[in-house]
Amino acid sequence: MAVLNDKNVILDVRNLSIDYRPLDQAPVQAVRNVSFQLRQGEVMGLVGESGCGKTTLMLGLMRLLPAGGRIVTGQVNFMGRDLMQLSEPEMNGVRWKNISMIFQGAMNALNPVHTVGDQIAEALLLHTPTREKAVLDARVLELLDLVGIAASRKDQYPHQYSGGMRQRAMIAMALACNPQVVIADEPTTALDVMIQAQILELLSNLRRELGLAIIFVTHDLGVVAEMCDAVLVMYGGVTAELADVDTIYNEPAHPYTQELLRAFPDLTRPGEKLTAIPGYPPRLDPPPPGCRFAPRCPKVFERCTQEEPMLHELGDGHVASCHLVTT
Ligand SMILES: Nc1ncnc2c1ncn2[C@@H]1O[C@H](COP(=O)(O)OP(=O)(O)OP(=O)(O)O)[C@@H](O)[C@H]1O
Ligand SMILES: [Mg+2]
């Protein structure tokens, strides 16, 4: 990855911690002390098994947590402002206009009774001063073209679209207000392999053409290798490892990253046996003492079950939270 200097940092997340406090139940410590930086035009992969806190981290930084969700500590610096300190109207000015999100399962969230074109126009109206129909129509067509949907489809309803087209329409909505950062939360999970590849190519092109910074949340390490510059590996709500993509694939330091990679097919190493990680991620209400990965870790030793490992810097931008890297 090209080393970019810090003035290119567009989003700087520091020590973000998020709880869910369901009524009458113990709080879920869903995200703890996660920090990362995103540079202009950079794609960061966010990976980790189900329940590791990926969606919570993203909803938290957009301040879109569901009821019961609460930011406990942390800063989200975006273009010189800490988003956590903004008033709700100020934050409304940032969402979609500066940072937008394609939600997990989003393609099913289109409204069935409005045409796709109208729904994209609706997203535009959130931040565009004009209400002039001709101007809005032109921009809707421009956005449809950007995501590869024919102009003739503008006045159709979501049920007339295929799954891949619905996902493209959601991407068009996310791009409506020219954001600098787009968060894509598993944007291809429900799509077949061919359509998935097309959507990924679309996102790569948009990044190149528009200079977008993208946070790409996924379970698919193959996609990460292809798309991303940097990778944040989360486990049980904490950062297991963060590094540029080559380091993650060639010199993973955290046993969780190593196990995740062993569970994925690698085309360059045909015949290699895939091994699933036995067991499940921990409950977080509260998390177990020590390292959260200890119960499943093939390299576990005594200290792991007693003391929580802190994040340790291994090199330029490479951090991991494992006692093995500090001893
Ligand atoms: N609304 C909620 N109320 C209480 N707990 C929640 C809520 N949403 C998520 N959680 C808990 O927070 C933790 C993190 O969940 P989250 O959805 O962020 O994980 P994820 O990494 O996005 O998983 P997936 O890959 O399945 O999308 C989990 O333990 C989950 O059970
Ligand atoms: Mg999720």
Nearest CA residue ID for atom 26, ligand 1: 50
- Whether the pLDDT of residue 180 is over 80: the answer is yes
Which residues face 47 on adjacent strands? 233
**pLDDT (0 to 100) of residue 4:** 46
**pLDDT (0 to 100) of residue 267:** 63
**Distance between CA 302 and CA 290 in Å, rounded?**
10
Which ligand lies nearest to the CA atom of residue 51 in the structure? 1
Which ligand lies nearest to the CA atom of residue 101 in the structure? 2
Residues 6+ apart with CB under 8 A from 62: 95, 99, 101, 183
Render pLDDT for 14-27 as a digit per residue (tens, 0 to 9).
999 999 998 888 99
CB 22 within 8 A of CB 206: no
Render pLDDT for 90-143 as a digit per residue (tens, 0 to 9).
999 999 999 999 987 777 789 999 999 999 999 898 877 777 889 999 999 999
Nearest CA residue ID for atom 28, ligand 1: 51
Confirm whether pTM is higher than 0.95: no
Chain centroid, CA 18 distance in Å: 16
Nearest CA residue ID for atom 7, ligand 1: 20
CB 232 within 8 A of CB 216: no
Chain centroid, CA 121 distance in Å: 25
Average pLDDT of the residues in 288-310: 96
Nearest atom (ligand 1) to Cα of 67: 1
Domains of the chain in start order, with CATH, are 6-82+91-98+179-326 (3.40.50.300), 99-178 (no CATH)
Q: Using 50, 70 and 90 to split pLDDT, how confident is the model at 283? A: very high
Q: Using 50, 70 and 90 to split pLDDT, how confident is the model at 268? A: low
Sheet containing 213-217: order of strands = 99-102, 181-185, 213-217, 43-47, 230-235, 238-244, 318-320, 312-315
- Whether the pLDDT of residue 292 is over 70: the answer is yes
**Distance between CA 97 and CA 292 in Å, rounded?**
37
Nearest atom (ligand 1) to Cα of 58: 18
Nearest CA residue ID for atom 30, ligand 1: 51
Residues with CB under 6 A from ligand 1: 20, 22, 28, 30, 48, 50-56, 66, 68, 104, 284
CB 105 within 8 A of CB 128: no
What is the β-pairing status of strands 318-320 and 43-47?
Answer: unpaired
- Whether the pLDDT of residue 3 is over 50: the answer is no
Render pLDDT for 191-241 as a digit per residue (tens, 0 to 9).
788 888 888 898 999 899 999 999 999 988 888 998 999 999 999 999 999
Residue 10 CB: number of other CB atoms within 10 A? 19
**pLDDT (0 to 100) of residue 121:** 93
What spacing in Å lies between the alpha carbon of 132 and ligand 2's midpoint? Answer: 38
